[in-house]
Amino acid sequence: MKPIPDKAEVALEYPDKLYIGSFERTSDFDAHLDEAGLALTLHHGGDESVRKSVRMHIHYALFAEILSDLAASVAKGFTDDAHRQMIAQAAAELAAALRAAPASGKDSDADMTAEEEVTLLHIME
């Protein structure tokens, strides 16, 4: 878990109930990708009267759609320059990590035939 650098607000609405919570700098978070999608946890510790946690698991297709919708939102005129740079840096780090990670979770070059290696070399030139 890492400290939350800013603030997150969560609202969970049911027909007969509404739960609202804020997680600020005194709270922690964890975000990671697993075999099925994005796992996100927000946690505020302390005694029983203030302790709370939120856990979300978003499958990859929905996560990709959320990222696309965020891109469309930026294209429509997101003008918060201070936060724009911070988000752009984090998005670039995610994109670079996705490009660098082996697609199958193992060394993908190890299973190549000689012919495939030659083809790859020609593509890279």
pTM exceeds 0.85: no
For the chain, strand residue ranges (E) read 2-3, 8-13, 18-23, 28-33, 37-44, 52-59
CA pair distance 101, 37, nearest whole angstrom = 16
Amino acid at position 64, single letter: A
Which residues have C-beta within 8 Å of that of residue 87, sequence separation ≥ 6? none
Structural domain tally of the chain? 1
In sequence order, the β-bridge partners of residue 54 are 42
Q: What is the pLDDT of residues 58-116, one digit of tens each?
A: 999 999 999 999 999 998 988 888 899 899 999 999 999 988 877 765 554 556 666 66
Q: What is the pLDDT of residues 30-72, one digit of tens each?
A: 999 999 999 999 999 989 988 999 999 999 999 999 999 999 9
Length of the chain counted residue by residue: 125
Pick from 27, 50, 51, 54: nearest CA to 40? 54
In sequence order, the β-bridge partners of residue 68 are none
Is residue 58 a part of any domain in this protein? yes
Do 31 and 55 touch, CB atoms closer than 8 A? no
Is residue 123 a part of any domain in this protein? no
Is residue 54 a part of any domain in this protein? yes
Is residue 56 a part of any domain in this protein? yes
Is residue 119 a part of any domain in this protein? no
Is residue 51 a part of any domain in this protein? yes
User: Which domain, by its residues, includes 77?
Assistant: 2-101
Is residue 116 a part of any domain in this protein? no
Is residue 61 a part of any domain in this protein? yes
CA 53 to chain centre: 18
Residue labelled with tokens 């999608």: 37
In sequence order, the β-bridge partners of residue 12 are 19
